Chain A
Amino acid sequence: MPGLPRPILLGITLSCLVASTAVQAKEQLVLAIGGEPDQGFDPLLGWGQYGNPLFQSTLLSRGRDLTPQPELATEWSLSEDRLTWTLTLRDDARFADGTPLTAEDVAYTFHAAAKAGGRADLSSLDHAQAVDEHTVTLHLRAPRITFVDQLMTLGIVPNAERDNGYSEQYGRQPLGSGPYQLVEWQEGEQLIVERNPYFYGPTPAFERLVFLFTGEDATLSAAHAGQLDIAAVPPALATKVPAHMQRLIMESVDNRGILFPMQPVNGEHAASGAPIGNDVTADVAIRQAINLAIDRDTLVEVALQGYGRPAFGPADGLPWSSRNERLDAPDLAQAEAILDAAGWRLGDDGLRYKEGLPARFRLTYPSSDTTRQLLAEVSAEMVRPLGIEMQPTGRHWDEIQREALHQDAIMFGFGSHSPQEIYYLFHSQHAGNGFYNSGFYANPEVDAHLDAAQAADSIEQANQYWQAAQWDGTTGYGLRGDSSWAWLVNLEHVYLADTCLDVGELGVAPHGHGWPITANLLEWRWTCD
């Protein structure tokens, strides 16, 4: 360097400065990735249930290998009796109003979330205690293997007793210590967020993010018109990529499947007024036959344009799911034999009947979702040769809740990085509770396995119980047992992103709610002038 003349050195420096300024010039990103939460951005009511709540921080974060990593907590430990978690908080965490985040806020969040009855499973929490400003202890009533997941997903809100503390309006005006703060939210239209100047982590590359809540067709049109920097698109519509964009594929554990109502009709109604039960799907022979008849490879090809893989359970490939839970190919002959043995006789109209009851039921899907519509229509076509008529029926979500939730087969989607979801989906304790076990599935043996998993000494032991709940050699919620679902496909999330946007290394996404692609938002960069 000493050899270089000063003007040349100055020129090189200026060039670098200009270049780096140009690369940093993009200050705003426009995203249309769906996922607008009905209940606002309130972690106590379920916002961020799959992690990365954007406005708030969690105590721990989930690493790429799904292990806990430091976030707000720099150190953590679980007592020998597995009843007390002790966490040490970082001392530089501040809410977006500049006030420090303390152990009191953490204790308040856990107490309030337990009372709120949101998506966080804090039923085992006895109490949370702020030991000092930066140390908090969480005391459990009984050991619970999935409690650590709450540490990775529950965003910390400000104590209600402080200035700008938590209130009923929090979901509309969230205050947290995450990388961004909310500026404006026009429900059903757009959300504008800006950097939180007090964020303890690295400064995000983009000052402002604009989330557009558009339907699938509007999103696609906007992407083609060059109005979006990143857009989530259904796989079936991702065949043509605009010239200025690239197709991004994000692996996921996000799945789609058919939930069957498990109870026969007996005149009961849920608290919401929705009728419970379906005489056709309550018969295990029908459920097993459908599972055997569906050609999942074709579903992936037709409904997902190849962006996915067949699904046989709610957590395929994850340690708490059995590897033996799969079918090599559809087997119509066996499906027919099962139906025959169960007394479902083929009528002249091509439909099966049992004691005058036709093998016919509605398969409901949210009408705004192309992927679920395609899956419903193709699945119905696949079981038609058996003499079973699944009637694909598109409805709005509120209508599904009001009418269909407990009496129709529903095209649902789940997929989580935590086995807690298995507990929600199949434990009788959660029967009729929200969307999870809306089919009122109940099997005492499965309950026992699920409870044993929660109380297990180690994750390895818990995984054995989770797998036993799927099939223990005698019974289970899975394909070989009660066939309570017909799991169809595991999705790959498809995005169209501007070619100038470098999103780094994408992880494995959970179910689509909560913007999974933003999990590594802090790594995103703009690479063009």
Chain B
Amino acid sequence: MRQAQPRLRAAFSLGVTTLLVVGLVASQWLLGDFPQQMQFNARLAPPSVDHWLGTDALGRELWARTLAGLALSFWVGCLAALLSTLIALSLAALATLSARLDALVSLLIDTLLSVPHLILLMLIAFALGGGTQAVIIAVAVTHWPSLARVLRAELWQLRQAPYVRISRALGKSRWFVLHGHLLPHLLPHCLVGALLLFPHAILHEAALTFLGFGLSPSQPAIGVLLADATRYLSGGYWWLGVFPGLGLLLMVLGFERLSSQLRRAL
């Protein structure tokens, strides 16, 4: 029962998060370009029955824009986390080929970990000219080191495992060893690692966009909504910042919880 409980919790978290993600994606399909539609006679309207979360300076519904922003953050986070995991896995595999390559990869990991995330993110995003692609690349390129370190250690350990050594001694190919023995062990680590990266990725995407180095101010990204909100906060338009901020917080917490449940379960 004690062993079953974490798995149950993980399954429950996975179910809830999947439902939320499906809802988020479906909402984008259903809403179309509604988040961009302006109502000039309802600018900066506070939350009410007609405008559930209020409207922005151009009369656009904040609930629709928050949903669109979360969906955008979700995709950016997904792609960045996936790319980051691939980089981590590739470099970890590279490190196991020789001691020199291992030293090189370790140096790269240590170097990247020693530079503050956000500064590196801003530099890369700025150099790439901003926009969705630049944000995904910047987040992916800066978030792999921690996972790479874990995967590298795991791979070194696995290579020394008796069944891997026996498999090699029996003349099995590298591909067979990798495919049959190493990857099945690494995949759960990759999955949890990617899930752990995801909240970081969306938070950094929002931060980057908030600071003006990320997505275009015309896209309904959470960072854009929050940056816009700061301009209007002193005018008393609190809803512009509160609801997108809460949405981001809930999404990050949801994935954080899911990843920690999965880590325990696996």
Question: Which stretch in B84-92, B114-122, B190-198, B210-218 binds the other chain?
Answer: B210-218
Contact bitstring A202-232, B, C-beta under 8 A = 1, else 0: 0000000000000011001101100000000
- The CA-CA distance from A373 to B217 in the complex, in Å, is 8
A378 at the interface (CB under 8 A from B): yes
A394 touches B216 (CB 8 A): yes
Shortest CB-to-CB span from B8 to chain A, Å, is 47
Contact bitstring B20-45, A, C-beta under 8 A = 1, else 0: 00000000000000001010100100
B235 touches A394 (CB 8 A): no
A250 at the interface (CB under 8 A from B): no
Chain B: residues with Cβ within 8 Å of the partner, total of 18
A238: nearest chain-B partner, CB-CB: B235
A162 at the interface (CB under 8 A from B): no
Contact pick for B58, options A237, A302, A393, CB 8 Å: A302
- The CA-CA distance from A236 to B58 in the complex, in Å, is 10
What chain A residues lie within 8 Å of B172 (beta carbons)?
none
A373 touches B218 (CB 8 A): yes
Report B152-207 residues with CB < 8 Å from chain A CB.
none
Shortest CB-to-CB span from B150 to chain A, Å, is 37
What chain B residues lie within 8 Å of A370 (beta carbons)?
231
Shortest CB-to-CB span from B122 to chain A, Å, is 12
Contact bitstring A283-309, B, C-beta under 8 A = 1, else 0: 000000000000000100110000000
B218 touches A220 (CB 8 A): no
- The CA-CA distance from A395 to B236 in the complex, in Å, is 28
A398: nearest chain-B partner, CB-CB: B126
Shortest CB-to-CB span from B264 to chain A, Å, is 42
What chain B residues lie within 8 Å of A373 (beta carbons)?
217-218
Check A236/B234 contact, CB under 8 A, given A381-B38, A394-B217, A394-B218: no
What chain B residues lie within 8 Å of A216 (beta carbons)?
231
A302 touches B235 (CB 8 A): no
B236 touches A378 (CB 8 A): no
B235: nearest chain-A partner, CB-CB: A240
Shortest CB-to-CB span from A265 to chain B, Å, is 20
- The CA-CA distance from A399 to B126 in the complex, in Å, is 9
Shortest CB-to-CB span from A388 to chain B, Å, is 15
A240 touches B217 (CB 8 A): no
- The CA-CA distance from A370 to B230 in the complex, in Å, is 12
A266 at the interface (CB under 8 A from B): no
The 7 closest A-B pairs by CB, nearest first: A394-B217, A392-B218, A240-B235, A217-B231, A217-B230, A224-B234, A394-B216
Q: Write the residues of chain A forming the contact surface with B, with a CB cutoff of 8 angstroms.
A: 216-217, 220-221, 223-224, 236-237, 239-240, 298, 301-302, 367-368, 370, 373-374, 376-378, 381, 391-396, 399, 403
Beyond A302-B58, A394-B218, list 20 extra A-B contacts (CB 8 Å): A216-B231, A217-B231, A221-B234, A223-B234, A236-B57, A237-B231, A237-B232, A240-B236, A298-B40, A302-B40, A302-B43, A368-B212, A374-B57, A376-B218, A377-B58, A377-B218, A378-B58, A381-B38, A391-B218, A394-B217
Can you offer 23 A-B residue contacts whose CB atoms are under 8 A? A217-B230, A217-B231, A220-B231, A220-B234, A221-B234, A236-B57, A237-B231, A240-B235, A302-B43, A302-B58, A367-B212, A368-B212, A370-B231, A374-B58, A376-B218, A377-B38, A378-B38, A378-B58, A391-B218, A392-B218, A393-B216, A394-B216, A396-B212
